[in-house]
Amino acid sequence: MKKNNYQGGKNLQPTIYWTYFEDGPWRFLLAATDGGLCYTGSQNRDVEELEAWAAKRFKGSELVENAEKLALYVEQFKQYFNGERKVLDFSIHYEGTDFQKGIWHALQDIPFGETTTYSAIAQIIGNPKAVRAVGTAIGANPVMVVIPCHRVIGKNGTLTGFRGGLEMKEKLLELEFVNKK
């Protein structure tokens, strides 16, 4: 996957194009700007989730349903969910604090089919006492799956918080463990 290639200023009010990704049991919303994929929705949620997110992160942006604009993303997600792809290699566009961006960059280095812990991420960023802040930043990840926050688990090995729900997190990890070879 390509790391955030968009380095423009905040709140430039880009047009946000969106469509639903549907493949087998998977159904969630994908959204992108001209800078790249900017949002991955939660399993089986509707466009209201995107509207609420966009109102906070990209105030004043126009939301336009456009499956054609998201065809590349949809195709790579299909390949990922069908075990044909381990890396999603398209541009992503996200906005966040420098701390959040640092966490999201660290998450992108977690290998496919492997997990790490919140405390390990805090160590990686050089702030071992920031475990709760790391968890908060991970929870704000706008592009789940692409930035693999599902690969972060509790220190005791349990599945913990995930914007898409623990069932989605568990299914993503199972999919990766099965297709790790």
The catalytic site residues sit at 149
Interacting residues of 50 by C-beta distance below 8 A, sequence separation 6+: 16, 18, 29, 31, 39, 41, 63
- How far CA 131 is from CA of 119, 137, 142, in Å, comes to 5, 10, 19
Interacting residues of 157 by C-beta distance below 8 A, sequence separation 6+: none
The secondary structure of 12-68 as a DSSP string is ----EEEEEEEETTEEEEEEEETTEEEEEPPTT--HHHHHHHHHHHSTTPPEEE-TG
HSE, side-chain direction, 13 A CA sphere, residue 15: 7
